[in-house]
Structure 1
Amino acid sequence: MSELTLIGLRVVVEVARRGSFTAAAEALGYTQSAVSRQIGAAESALGAPLFERQARGVRPTPEGEALIRHARQALAHVEAAEAEIAGLRDRVAGRLAVGAYPTAAATLVPRAIARLGAAHPALTVTLTEAGSPALLRRLRAGRIEVALISIGDGLPDYDLTGLQVERVCGGRGLGVAVSTAHPLAGRGTVDAEDLAGEAWIIGAGEQGAPQFEAWPTLKAPNIVHEARSWTTRLGLVAANLGISLLPGLAADTLPRGVTWLRVHDPSFTRTRETVLLTQADRSPAASALVTAIHTEAAAPSPELP
């Protein structure tokens, strides 16, 4: 006597989704005859036809609709059970604390945490946003296991002795944020001389943290506002009260009314990098997050409007 099976339920749901045995077979990696056998076995188990054969594909019968509704719920429960059991066996479990400087904390790290959570549901990650000097202190004190900081020109020569240091590759480099109502907004890329005479909104931070002033090669820039938080700076930009320096890492997270422009400037040579820091004997959870961050950083950037 035929009985309903998980494979049979998956085939029934896929046939209903695709509208044909052939399309379902391609999606599942089965032959069409295997799909037909599974549908036949399910119909035999229930004693009712599940699909009406039409000139172009198939359509569920009332009995098929009822089974499909319950099958989706059953398969969802099975997948949840599998994920929970996998989490119980997962070495990457427990709690992990990570810290990042504001730009990375707003963009790269959240995406990496989401990626990590999908792969390791038993792991809970907490994120702290702070400047690089504070993150170094927390890492050395054991309050966080992973830190993302910014190093390079214009920043202190941090003591990284004894730490595992990995460069984070990717990103669009340094650019500027402007209002979508700004005359330069539609250009995508601007020359540095195009920025001369613009009103600038600059940043203010703790000692040793990037200040994000005007474009570095401009002489005597017109600074009109100074704000500590990105929210305030970009709010002023959105109101078209000035423009602001902005790392490309944050270019795809701008609020409404703000766009990001690349800046062409052959005379600009200052370099800064994002680096990942962990203790030399980092945990499996910390290693998994480091991998997720590298993966997200290497992913293609969304196209800007």
Structure 2
Amino acid sequence: MDVHPQLLRALRAVLETGSLTAASERLGFTQSALSKQIGTLEAAAGVQLLRRGPRGVEPTEAGHRLAARAASILDQYDAAQRELDDLAAPLGGRVALGGFPTTAMRLVPRAIARVRAEHPSVAIDFQESSTPVQIRRLRAGRLDLALLSSGEGLPEWDLTGVEVEPLPSGPLLLAVARQHRLARASEPVPVTELAGEDWIAGRGARGEPQFGAWPTLARPRVVAELADWSTRLGFVAAGIGVTTVPALAAGALPEGVVSLEVDDPEWTGRRLLLARIGALGGPANAVRAALAKEARAVAERGSGPR
């Protein structure tokens, strides 16, 4: 099957977003143009890849299998482009860094600013995505460094061949509106106090872990699932519900939202990991050192009532 990479990107976008409308908005095409791309891909493959279901577009088994292959193929295309770009970069000072969304609130911007101040010739390309996507990109050579999340409530990631080092991240926190009954708590909030709360949860692509209800609650009442962090925190600020945030993001909370620690003996926590494959060059080591320094600083400032 000989097809243009854009057709594979179209299929991936539909599977990740769950609809032709959302996929067309992500890729910048009209819905009719995207439908034609899918039709062209189906003609080349000789099988139906998508079907309309009660909740939108659903992939067939063939669609699932081709999309899985497409992810690897597209990663290789992007890795090849990176290598060509690096040839033209002065001093080879370009570093590809990946991080999940909450690392982009404070940790990554501060680290990038530090590197720019200390090593002006080092350029950082930051890619925001979920942990499983980053592991795939790291293996494909699209990333030099990746910030991953691991621990309780998350899958056991396959890190075979991946070198990881833990970075300070602070505890998982509860985010509530400033007028919430718990907002003025001076001590960690007992987890039993959270049983009757309404929760604002994250929503992402299929299989991507999200922050939301407190992990050890048996039957949390989720009143909204929202994709964007600013929207989620806006709902919290309005008093519609509460949510969880990592300490890494606590210093970037909007006006009207405060973060609190939770006393939960059953919660063993999560870890922030910096991952790489193989030896790092000078520019990547500079980024690694900046991330370690800023992680310590952000974790120290990120916990406690705000």
TM-score (norm 2): 0.65
1:233 aligns to what?
232
Indicate which of 179, 182, 190 corresponds to 1:181: 179
Residues 260 and 305 of structure 2 are in contact (CA less than 8 Å); yes or no, is this contact kept in structure 1?
no
SS in 1 for 2:181: coil
Residues 92 and 288 of structure 1 are in contact (CA less than 8 Å); yes or no, is this contact kept in structure 2?
no
Query: 2:298 matched to 1:277?
Result: no
SS in 1 for 2:184: helix
Instruction: State the alpha-carbon separation in 1 of the partners of residues 301 and 176 from structure 2.
Output: 19
What are the superposed Cα offsets for residues 111-168 of structure 1, whole Å, 9 maximum, x if unpaired?
Answer: 1111111110111112110001111121122222111111122322222222221111
Any residues of structure 2 matched to 1:142-291 within 5 Å, and which?
A: 142-169=141-168, 171-188=169-186, 189-269=188-268, 271-291=269-289
What are the superposed Cα offsets for residues 84-117 of structure 1, whole Å, 9 maximum, x if unpaired?
Answer: xxxxxxx976221111011112221111111111
Question: Root-mean-square deviation (CA), in Å?
Answer: 1.9
SS in 2 for 1:186: coil
What are the superposed Cα offsets for residues 228-247 of structure 1, whole Å, 9 maximum, x if unpaired?
Answer: 22111101001111000111
Counterpart code for 1:101: F
SS in 2 for 1:246: strand
SS in 2 for 1:121: coil
Instruction: State the alpha-carbon separation in 2 of the partners of residues 96 and 109 from structure 1.
Output: 13
SS in 1 for 2:273: strand
CA pair 92-172 structure 1, distance change in 2 beyond 3 A: farther
SS in 1 for 2:301: coil
Any residues of structure 2 matched to 1:1-305 within 5 Å, and which?
A: 94-169=93-168, 171-188=169-186, 189-269=188-268, 271-299=269-297, 300-301=300-301, 304-305=305-306
SS in 2 for 1:200: strand
Superposition deviation, residue 180 in structure 1: 0.7
SS in 2 for 1:235: helix
Counterpart code for 1:203: G
Superposition deviation, residue 208 in structure 1: 4.0
Residues 176 and 258 of structure 2 are in contact (CA less than 8 Å); yes or no, is this contact kept in structure 1?
yes
Instruction: State the alpha-carbon separation in 2 of the partners of residues 208 and 96 from structure 1.
Output: 28
Residues 92 and 120 of structure 1 are in contact (CA less than 8 Å); yes or no, is this contact kept in structure 2?
no
Q: Which has the larger radius of gyration?
A: 1
Counterpart code for 2:287: L
SS in 2 for 1:177: strand
User: Which stretch of the first structure deviates more once superposed, 109-118 or 210-219?
Assistant: 210-219
Counterpart code for 1:156: P
Instruction: State the alpha-carbon separation in 2 of the partners of residues 253 and 124 from structure 1.
Output: 24
Instruction: State the alpha-carbon separation in 1 of the partners of residues 206 and 279 from structure 2.
Output: 30
Residues 179 and 259 of structure 1 are in contact (CA less than 8 Å); yes or no, is this contact kept in structure 2?
yes
Structure 2 stretches of 5 or more lacking a match?
1-89
Superposition deviation, residue 218 in structure 1: 2.4
Superposition deviation, residue 210 in structure 1: 2.2
Instruction: State the alpha-carbon separation in 2 of the partners of residues 259 and 282 from structure 1.
Output: 39
Residues 96 and 125 of structure 2 are in contact (CA less than 8 Å); yes or no, is this contact kept in structure 1?
yes
4+ long deviations beyond 4 Å: none
Instruction: State the alpha-carbon separation in 1 of the partners of residues 91 and 185 from structure 2.
Output: 46
